[in-house]
Amino acid sequence: MVSNATALGRHGLHDWLLLRATAIIITFYVFYILAMLAMIEHITYNTWKAFFQLPFTKVFTCLTLISILVHGWIGLWQVLTDYIKTLAIRMLLQLAVVVILFVYAIYGTIIVWSA
Protein backbone atom coordinates (compact mmCIF):
# COMPACT_ATOMS: atom_id res chain seq x y z
CA MET A 1 0.00 0.00 0.00
CA VAL A 2 1.24 3.48 -0.88
CA SER A 3 1.52 5.91 2.00
CA ASN A 4 -0.45 9.13 1.90
CA ALA A 5 2.71 11.25 1.93
CA THR A 6 1.82 13.41 -1.06
CA ALA A 7 -1.97 13.29 -0.95
CA LEU A 8 -2.23 16.27 1.42
CA GLY A 9 -5.02 14.64 3.41
CA ARG A 10 -7.24 13.91 0.42
CA HIS A 11 -9.39 10.85 0.27
CA GLY A 12 -10.36 8.68 -2.67
CA LEU A 13 -13.94 9.96 -2.65
CA HIS A 14 -12.71 13.56 -2.92
CA ASP A 15 -10.62 12.71 -5.99
CA TRP A 16 -13.46 10.70 -7.51
CA LEU A 17 -15.89 13.62 -7.11
CA LEU A 18 -13.38 16.11 -8.53
CA LEU A 19 -12.75 13.89 -11.54
CA ARG A 20 -16.48 13.55 -12.23
CA ALA A 21 -17.14 17.28 -11.74
CA THR A 22 -14.27 18.32 -14.01
CA ALA A 23 -15.32 15.76 -16.64
CA ILE A 24 -18.84 17.25 -16.64
CA ILE A 25 -17.49 20.79 -17.04
CA ILE A 26 -15.24 19.69 -19.91
CA THR A 27 -18.16 17.89 -21.58
CA PHE A 28 -20.42 20.96 -21.30
CA TYR A 29 -17.65 23.09 -22.80
CA VAL A 30 -17.30 20.72 -25.76
CA PHE A 31 -21.07 20.93 -26.33
CA TYR A 32 -20.89 24.73 -26.05
CA ILE A 33 -18.19 24.92 -28.73
CA LEU A 34 -20.03 22.42 -30.94
CA ALA A 35 -23.25 24.43 -30.61
CA MET A 36 -21.39 27.57 -31.65
CA LEU A 37 -19.92 25.76 -34.65
CA ALA A 38 -23.36 24.43 -35.63
CA MET A 39 -25.03 27.86 -35.43
CA ILE A 40 -22.48 29.79 -37.48
CA GLU A 41 -22.63 29.26 -41.23
CA HIS A 42 -19.16 30.52 -42.17
CA ILE A 43 -16.45 30.51 -39.58
CA THR A 44 -13.96 33.28 -40.07
CA TYR A 45 -11.30 34.75 -37.88
CA ASN A 46 -13.61 37.63 -36.97
CA THR A 47 -16.49 35.37 -35.87
CA TRP A 48 -14.11 33.20 -33.87
CA LYS A 49 -12.57 36.28 -32.25
CA ALA A 50 -16.00 37.78 -31.50
CA PHE A 51 -17.09 34.51 -29.90
CA PHE A 52 -14.07 34.42 -27.61
CA GLN A 53 -14.52 38.08 -26.67
CA LEU A 54 -17.82 37.28 -24.98
CA PRO A 55 -17.39 37.42 -21.18
CA PHE A 56 -19.31 34.15 -20.72
CA THR A 57 -17.01 32.38 -23.17
CA LYS A 58 -13.91 33.73 -21.44
CA VAL A 59 -15.10 32.63 -18.00
CA PHE A 60 -16.27 29.25 -19.29
CA THR A 61 -12.96 28.72 -21.11
CA CYS A 62 -10.96 29.54 -17.96
CA LEU A 63 -13.18 27.24 -15.88
CA THR A 64 -12.61 24.49 -18.42
CA LEU A 65 -8.87 25.13 -18.42
CA ILE A 66 -8.77 24.80 -14.64
CA SER A 67 -10.91 21.65 -14.88
CA ILE A 68 -8.50 20.11 -17.38
CA LEU A 69 -5.54 20.92 -15.14
CA VAL A 70 -7.24 19.49 -12.02
CA HIS A 71 -8.30 16.42 -13.97
CA GLY A 72 -4.75 15.98 -15.25
CA TRP A 73 -3.20 16.51 -11.82
CA ILE A 74 -5.37 13.86 -10.16
CA GLY A 75 -4.71 11.38 -12.95
CA LEU A 76 -0.96 11.97 -12.94
CA TRP A 77 -0.85 11.88 -9.12
CA GLN A 78 -2.57 8.49 -9.17
CA VAL A 79 -0.24 7.11 -11.83
CA LEU A 80 2.87 8.40 -10.06
CA THR A 81 1.81 7.03 -6.67
CA ASP A 82 0.96 3.66 -8.22
CA TYR A 83 4.09 3.17 -10.29
CA ILE A 84 6.91 5.24 -8.73
CA LYS A 85 7.72 3.65 -5.39
CA THR A 86 10.81 5.71 -4.50
CA LEU A 87 9.53 8.70 -2.55
CA ALA A 88 12.26 11.14 -3.66
CA ILE A 89 11.76 10.43 -7.35
CA ARG A 90 7.98 10.56 -7.01
CA MET A 91 8.12 13.89 -5.16
CA LEU A 92 10.46 15.34 -7.79
CA LEU A 93 8.17 14.22 -10.61
CA GLN A 94 5.11 15.56 -8.80
CA LEU A 95 6.84 18.88 -8.27
CA ALA A 96 7.66 19.04 -11.98
CA VAL A 97 4.04 18.27 -12.86
CA VAL A 98 2.75 20.96 -10.47
CA VAL A 99 5.12 23.56 -11.92
CA ILE A 100 4.13 22.68 -15.49
CA LEU A 101 0.41 22.76 -14.68
CA PHE A 102 0.82 26.09 -12.87
CA VAL A 103 2.57 27.58 -15.91
CA TYR A 104 -0.20 26.23 -18.15
CA ALA A 105 -2.82 27.84 -15.89
CA ILE A 106 -1.15 31.24 -15.94
CA TYR A 107 -0.31 31.19 -19.65
CA GLY A 108 -3.75 29.90 -20.61
CA THR A 109 -5.51 32.55 -18.55
CA ILE A 110 -3.39 35.28 -20.11
CA ILE A 111 -4.22 34.00 -23.59
CA VAL A 112 -7.96 33.75 -22.91
CA TRP A 113 -8.30 37.18 -21.36
CA SER A 114 -6.13 38.92 -23.96
CA ALA A 115 -8.35 37.75 -26.83
Q: What percent of the chain has pLDDT over 90?
A: 82
Using CA atoms, how far apart are residues 46 and 91, in angstroms rounded to an integer?
A: 45
Residue 74, pLDDT > 60, answer yes
Residue 107, pLDDT > 80, answer yes
Instruction: Choose the weakest-confidence range: 8-12, 23-27, 39-43.
Output: 8-12
| Contacts for 19 with CB less than 8 Å, ≥ 6 apart | 71, 74, 75
Using CA atoms, how far apart are residues 74 and 56, in angstroms rounded to an integer?
A: 27
* Axis crossing angle, helix 55-83 with helix 87-114, rounded to the nearest 10: 170
- pLDDT, residue 65, reads 97
- Tell me what the mean pLDDT of segment 51-68 comes to: 96
Domains and CATH numbers, the chain: 12-114 (1.20.1300.10)
- pLDDT, residue 8, reads 47
Residue 2, pLDDT > 80, answer no
Of 26, 39, 111, nearest in space to 47 by CA: 39
Using CA atoms, how far apart are residues 66 and 54, in angstroms rounded to an integer?
A: 19
pLDDT in tens, 75-89: 999 999 999 999 999
- Tell me what the mean pLDDT of segment 64-76 comes to: 95
Residue 7, pLDDT > 90, answer no
Q: Would the annotation count 71 as a binding residue?
A: yes
Of 35, 42, 40, nearest in space to 56 by CA: 35
Q: Would the annotation count 42 as a binding residue?
A: no
DSSP string, 75-101: HHHHHHHHH---HHHHHHHHHHHHHHH
